[in-house]
């Protein structure tokens, strides 16, 4: 397949506060040992209250624009992937547009959760190939802290503003969600994309899939129009604003479907996994990445992981990892790079790119 779109620059930002596993253990019944062993995560960043997903998205966008040598006014299309928009509606795209000082260019929202970046990349590629965009800004941004069930006092403790012991009853409540809250962080990653005349560079293909039958293994059982009203005090008190996650089911799907998608996208592009220079898996759990690596029989130097430092930042993990690899020289011109992810929906898939 001929390549028509490529990435010209990238950048990322995180929430303001670095939060260790020990900080998390102050508000729920967990430990550094458990979190590291089961997920590989050592720390994550949380935003201060008042910072919204659109703010992180704009921060990442500015860095990507600088990196690409493109001015904000040159951008002709915005695509934002997030499952944690500032408001229930509208999406974040138009807020990012306004905060960048832009007017009337199209701004599109993608909501494919942990596969948001891979899905959005396909949309961005298609828009560019169809001549609908020449300088497209694509951002993956998330703030997960809004899901977390901590009280104001709990937040003061987690964010290092207080040394107080939180009440045992509150710790017990928070611990109901401990398998979830320890995994996530707040961050955004962005790329600037455009057409290329070089047929040897750019996005080579996609292998995307969805399967709705297991929705309840990972979803938010509230704040939706399946309910009347769509959000209620009862839902909040029952903790239904926090995602439900059957971790084992998600884990098993991830280590099965992600390698399949990588093989599929390579085959579609007439290449094989052995030709890959680098695999960037969505960062959900280091053990998932290791399982995917093992299934694909890839050596350590061909798989990039940074979940240890950021936790799972959903739509932001892949652009953050890509930016780190670019800046560290782990991705060079001509390298064959594969992005792969799986998440709520379920949606999963892989994208193949020649840098």
Q: Which residues carry out catalysis?
A: 114, 282, 312
3-state SS string for the chain: CCCCEEEEEEEEEECCEEEEHHHHHCCCCCCHHHHHHHHCCCEEEECCCCCCHHHHHHHHHHHHHHHHCCCHHHCCEEEEECCCCCCCCCCCHHHHHHHCCCCCCCEEEECCHHHHHHHHHHHHHHHHHCCCCCCEEEEEEECCHHHCCCCHHHHHHHCCCCCCCCCHHHHHHHHCCHHHHCCECCEEEEEEEEECCCCCCEEEEEEEEECHHHHHHEECCCCCCCCCCCCCHHHHHCCCCCCEECHHHHHHHHHHHHHHHHHHHHHHCCCCHHHCCEEEECCCCHHHHHHHHHHHCCCHHHECCCHHHHCECHHHHHHHHHHHHHHCCCCCCCCEEEEEEEECCCEEEEEEEEC
Closest approach of ligand UT7 to the CB of residue 142, in Å: 11
Instruction: Return the number of the residue (3 or 284) whose C-beta is nearest ligand UT7.
Output: 284
Closest approach of ligand UT7 to the CB of residue 344, in Å: 7
- Is residue 53 near ligand UT7 by the rule CB under 6 A? no
Closest approach of ligand UT7 to the CB of residue 46, in Å: 16
Closest approach of ligand UT7 to the CB of residue 312, in Å: 5
- Is residue 10 near ligand UT7 by the rule CB under 6 A? no
Binding-site size, ligand UT7 (CB under 6 A): 19
Mark 20-39 with x for binding to ligand UT7 (rule: CB under 6 A) and - for no binding: ----------x---xx--xx
Instruction: Return the number of the residue (180 or 190) whose C-beta is nearest ligand UT7.
Output: 180
Q: Tokens at residue 308, please?
A: 């240890």
Instruction: Return the number of the residue (70 or 217) whose C-beta is nearest ligand UT7.
Output: 217
Looking at residues 321 to 350 of the shown chain, list those that interact with ligand UT7 (rule: CB under 6 A).
Answer: 343
- Is residue 155 near ligand UT7 by the rule CB under 6 A? no
Mark 280-309 with x for binding to ligand UT7 (rule: CB under 6 A) and - for no binding: ----xx------------------------
- Is residue 227 near ligand UT7 by the rule CB under 6 A? no
Neighbours of 12 (CB within 10 A): 27
Instruction: Return the number of the residue (25 or 298) whose C-beta is nearest ligand UT7.
Output: 25
Residue found by looking up tokens 């792969």 in the block: 340
Instruction: Return the number of the residue (285 or 305) whose C-beta is nearest ligand UT7.
Output: 285
- Is residue 245 near ligand UT7 by the rule CB under 6 A? yes
Looking at residues 172 to 191 of the shown chain, list those that interact with ligand UT7 (rule: CB under 6 A).
Answer: 178-179, 182
Instruction: Return the number of the residue (124 or 183) whose C-beta is nearest ligand UT7.
Output: 183
Residues near ligand UT7, by CB under 6 A: 30, 34-35, 38-39, 114, 178-179, 182, 245, 247-248, 250-251, 254, 284-285, 312, 343
């Amino acid at each position: 397949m001929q390549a028509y779109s490529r990435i010209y620059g990238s950048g990322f930002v995180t929430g303001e506060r670095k939060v260790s596993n020990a900080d998390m253990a102050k508000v729920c019944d967990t430990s550094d040992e458990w979190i590291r062993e089961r997920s590989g995560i050592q720390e994550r960043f949380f935003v201060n209250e008042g910072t919204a997903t659109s703010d992180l998205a704009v921060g990442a966008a500015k860095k990507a624009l600088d990196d690409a040598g493109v001015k904000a006014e040159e951008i002709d299309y915005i695509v934002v992937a997030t499952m944690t928009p500032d408001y229930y509606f509208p999406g974040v795209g138009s807020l990012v547009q306004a905060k960048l000082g832009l007017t009337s260019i199209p701004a599109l929202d993608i909501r494919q959760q942990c596969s948001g970046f891979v899905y959005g990349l396909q949309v961005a590629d298609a828009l560019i190939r169809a001549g609908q965009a020449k300088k497209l800004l694509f951002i993956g941004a998330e703030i997960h802290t809004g899901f977390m069930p901590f009280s104001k006092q709990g937040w003061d403790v987690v964010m290092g503003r207080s040394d107080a012991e939180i009440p045992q009853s509150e710790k017990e409540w928070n611990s109901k969600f401990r398998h979830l809250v320890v995994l996530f962080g707040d961050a955004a990653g962005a790329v600037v994309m455009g057409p290329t005349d070089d047929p040897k560079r750019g996005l080579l293909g996609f292998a995307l899939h969805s399967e709705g039958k297991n929705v309840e293994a990972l979803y938010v059982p509230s704040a939706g129009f399946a309910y009347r009203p769509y959000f209620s005090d009862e839902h909040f008190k029952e903790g239904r604003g926090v995602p439900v996650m059957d971790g084992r089911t998600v884990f098993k799907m991830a280590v099965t479907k992600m390698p399949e998608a990588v093989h599929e996208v390579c085959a579609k592009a007439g290449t094989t996994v052995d030709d890959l220079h680098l695999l960037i898996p969505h960062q959900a759990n280091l053990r998932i990445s290791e399982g995917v690596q093992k299934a694909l029989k890839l050596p350590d130097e061909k798989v990039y992981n940074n979940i240890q430092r950021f936790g799972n930042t959903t739509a932001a993990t892949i652009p953050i990892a890509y930016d780190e690899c670019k800046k560290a020289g782990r991705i060079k011109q001509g390298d064959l790079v594969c992005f792969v992810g799986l998440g709520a929906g379920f949606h999963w898939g892989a994208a193949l790119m020649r840098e």
